[in-house]
Amino acid sequence: MPIVLDGKSVAAQIKADLSTRVAALKRQGIQPGLGTLLVGSDPGSVKYVAGKHADCAEVGITSIRRDLSADATESQIVQAVDELNADPACTGFIVQLPLPAGVDELSVIARIDPGKDVDGMHPYNLGELVLHTSGEIATPLPCTPRGVLTLLDHYGIGLDGKEVCVLGRGITIGRTIGLLLTRRNVNATVTLCHTGTKDVREHMRRADVIIAAMGSAGFVTPDDIKPGAVLVDVGVSRVWDEQAGRYRIKGDVDKACYAKAGAYTPNPGGVGPMTRAMLLANVVEIAERAAAR
């Protein structure tokens, strides 16, 4: 039987550990705080931000929320970022993406204080990740890639010498996870596939691990994987269910693949909870590093 990589269960264990560490920080007079900046009312973003604040309450982190209307200008968004940068109660914060059309997302991300970048997506922090092929990294790591590796490690799935096929080149995971996978302590070999890749299915069939992050429901089929492959499904698509009369969330991996796999992440319930747990971990680690100085 394939191993189900249960992100909900592992995230719960991580949050329990973080609760203990937050309590220790409070005894030192340090109160970690997570800020969020949400622009507009995209249903997925609203739900995701609400989940982050619920997680904060669970582990004892203060929530700091900034909401702007969908017609907010870029200057108003930048002003909100500056306010969070300057807020001493805010240990770290995220700007929830996507931002409204016409707003330069990369400029907004670059405006974040790198020391408060709990998403690990600031150019400085990504640069630190590029530079450090081994050893400790003392800057925040991208949450989704870190969550994937933490989940695999929890289940004892080693990646040393493994062929990993990454599907999708988005900034959230596709372009960043290879930086973590190719560090010497992981030592995987990575192929990044995208819309310009020829024979993408041949790449998948050779892979020991497939990390699918395309947002294309059911793209990975049983014919695309070799027996025993590890399937990590990061894709999110809203697909209309005629029978139920409502939209459902579906991943990039067809569930028919599960019987052939050696291990797989359910979707939902796999990578998503791990991403949120890593966001909290980044907040706590920033506070712990400040306490140690």
Spatial CA neighbour of 265 closest among 30, 91, 4: 4
CA distances from 100 to 43, 169, 209 (A): 14, 21, 35
CA distances from 189 to 79, 172, 179, 262 (A): 42, 20, 11, 19
Task: Please state, in angstroms and rounded to a whole number, the distance separating the CA atoms of residues 144 and 150.
Answer: 10
Predicted pLDDT of residue 184: 97
Domains of the chain: 28-114 (3.40.50.10860), 143-272 (3.40.50.720)
The residues that bridge with 161 in the sheet, in sequence order, are none
Predicted pLDDT of residue 52: 93
Predicted pLDDT of residue 248: 85
CA distances from 82 to 87, 95, 155, 290 (A): 9, 12, 40, 20
Task: Please state, in angstroms and rounded to a whole number, the distance separating the CA atoms of residues 178 and 191.
Answer: 8
Task: Please state, in angstroms and rounded to a whole number, the distance separating the CA atoms of residues 63 and 148.
Answer: 25
The low-confidence residues of the chain, meaning pLDDT below 50, are none
Chain centroid, CA 161 distance in Å: 24
Predicted pLDDT of residue 71: 94
Residues marked active site are found at 52, 96, 119
Q: Residues with Cβ < 8 Å from 233, sequence gap 6 or more?
A: 212, 220, 251, 252, 253, 264, 265, 266, 267, 270, 271
Task: Please state, in angstroms and rounded to a whole number, the distance separating the CA atoms of residues 253 and 256.
Answer: 8
Predicted pLDDT of residue 44: 80
Question: Which residue numbers belong to the known binding site?
Answer: 168-170, 236
Question: Which residue numbers belong to the known binding site for NADP(+)?
Answer: 168-170, 236
Spatial CA neighbour of 107 closest among 144, 81, 133, 141: 81
